[in-house]
């Protein structure tokens, strides 16, 4: 019994911590569907009218008001994934499989944006490309600065974890040309890493705030930037609904990542996430 006390203590502590972390999420989700009038969950002004206790009208309002921003964020996230695959995967392949003097340095250089605070990066982008300020694709460029390093890192890690070079040599002796080796051997071998990388890129792009907010114009507002606006200018219910929608957008991706990244990629990605948390 005496030995079990610390264990029980640890469980209790973990439980409290979980409540501490999850409670705000629960409040927000609850707030987004409760049919309250003004002040939130604690409000005494319940309006259990014809619609009952639960309502989805806040969501309707959010979709009507911020639909354009949600679509813009989705567009950015999908484009980021596509461009990361098209640019990041071949880049990682070239850096790992065909190294040149300084290729290791280039690989590290690609990761630099991760360790820069988003605000620095945004101001740098604004100042360097002042002419293009307000163009939607400048926001995309900001997202790519953050996401391409992830794709390169995940892919190059996978390339190093097994002998792709030997598989390529085998394919070569079997008569495969370079393009056949790349598309029939290299890419399929990396499919897991590319999937993990894509999910990560999607999640990062969908939730990116710093660059999005600073490069924000009324016409090119991302959803996280809009989310910030709802908290400043809108009711608790509306901002709760907006937050819930935001979570719904990224939750499936995170769950899938959790399942896929449980293996050997987990540790590496964990490290990267710490890096970006510190940077952003």
Partner 1 sequence: MATLEVRGLKKLFGAQTAVDDISHLFADGEITAVVGPSGSGKTTTLWMIAGLTAPDAGAVLIDGIDVTSRRAEQREIGMVFQSYALFPHLSVRENVEFGLRVRGLEKGARRSRALEALQLVRMDAFADRRVTSLSGGEQQRVALARALAFRPRVLLMDEPLSALDARLREDVRLELAQLLSTVKITTVYVTHDQTEAMALGARLLVLESGRVAQAGSPAEVYRRPATPFVADFLGAANLLEGVCGSGEPRLLTLPFAELELPRDTAPGPCRVMIRPEDLVLTTNGSAQFHANVVSSLFLGRQLRLVLEVGEQRLVMDASPDTVFYPRAEIGVRIRPDRVVVFPAGPQPNPGRMNR
Q: Which residue of 41, 124, 167, 214 would you call a contact of partner 1, by CB under 8 A?
A: 167
Residue 104 makes contact with partner 1 by CB under 8 A: no
Q: How far is the CB of 178 from partner 1 (least distance, A)?
A: 9
Residue 41 makes contact with partner 1 by CB under 8 A: no
CB 231 within 8 A of CB 102: no
42 or 173: CB nearest partner 1: 173
Give burial (CB, 10 Å; 0-12/13-18/19+) of 73: buried
Residue 39 makes contact with partner 1 by CB under 8 A: no
**DSSP-assigned letters across all residues of 77-120:** HHHHHHHIIIIIHHHHHHHHHS--TTHHHHHHHHTGGGGS-HHH
Tokens of 150: 């992830």
> Taking the C-alpha atoms of 229, 231, 235 and 236 in order, what is their torsion angle to the nearest 10 degrees?
150
- For 44, 148, 162, 219, the CA distances from 29, given in Å and listed in that order, are 18, 32, 43, 28
Site mask, partner 1, residues 187-206, x = CB under 8 A? -xx-x---------------
Q: How far is the CB of 162 from partner 1 (least distance, A)?
A: 8
Residue 264 makes contact with partner 1 by CB under 8 A: no
Residue 123's contacts (CB-CB under 8 Å, 6 or more residues apart) are 214
Residue 161 makes contact with partner 1 by CB under 8 A: no
Residue 176 makes contact with partner 1 by CB under 8 A: yes
158 or 241: CB nearest partner 1: 158
Residues at the contact surface with partner 1, assessed by CB under 8 A:
162-163, 166-167, 169-177, 180, 184-185, 188-189, 191
């Amino acid at each position: 019994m005496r030995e079990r006390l610390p264990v029980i203590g640890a469980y209790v502590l973990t439980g409290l911590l979980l409540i501490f972390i999850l409670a705000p999420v629960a409040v927000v989700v609850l707030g987004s569907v409760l049919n309250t009038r003004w002040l939130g969950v604690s409000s005494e002004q319940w309006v259990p009218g014809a619609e009952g206790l639960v309502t989805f009208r806040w969501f309707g309002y959010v979709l009507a008001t911020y639909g354009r921003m949600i679509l813009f964020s989705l567009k950015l996230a999908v484009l980021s994934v596509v461009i990361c695959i098209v640019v990041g995967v071949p880049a990682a392949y070239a850096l790992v499989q065909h190294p040149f003097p300084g290729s290791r340095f280039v690989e590290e250089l690609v990761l630099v944006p991760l360790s820069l605070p988003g605000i620095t990066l945004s101001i740098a982008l604004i100042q360097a490309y002042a002419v293009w300020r307000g163009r939607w694709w400048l926001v995309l460029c900001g997202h790519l600065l953050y996401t391409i390093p992830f794709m390169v890192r995940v892919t190059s890690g996978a390339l190093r974890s097994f002998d792709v070079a030997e598989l390529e040599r085998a394919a070569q002796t079997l008569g495969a040309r370079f393009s056949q080796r790349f598309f029939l051997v290299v890419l399929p071998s990396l499919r897991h890493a590319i999937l993990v990388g894509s999910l990560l890129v999607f999640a990062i792009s969908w939730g990116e705030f710093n660059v999005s907010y600073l490069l924000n114009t009324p016409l090119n507002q991302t959803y996280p930037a809009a989310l910030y606006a709802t908290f400043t200018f809108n009711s608790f219910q509306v901002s709760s609904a907006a937050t819930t929608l935001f979570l719904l957008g990224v939750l499936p991706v995170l769950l899938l990542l959790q399942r896929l990244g449980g293996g050997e990629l987990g540790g590496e990605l964990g490290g990267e996430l710490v890096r970006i948390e510190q940077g952003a």
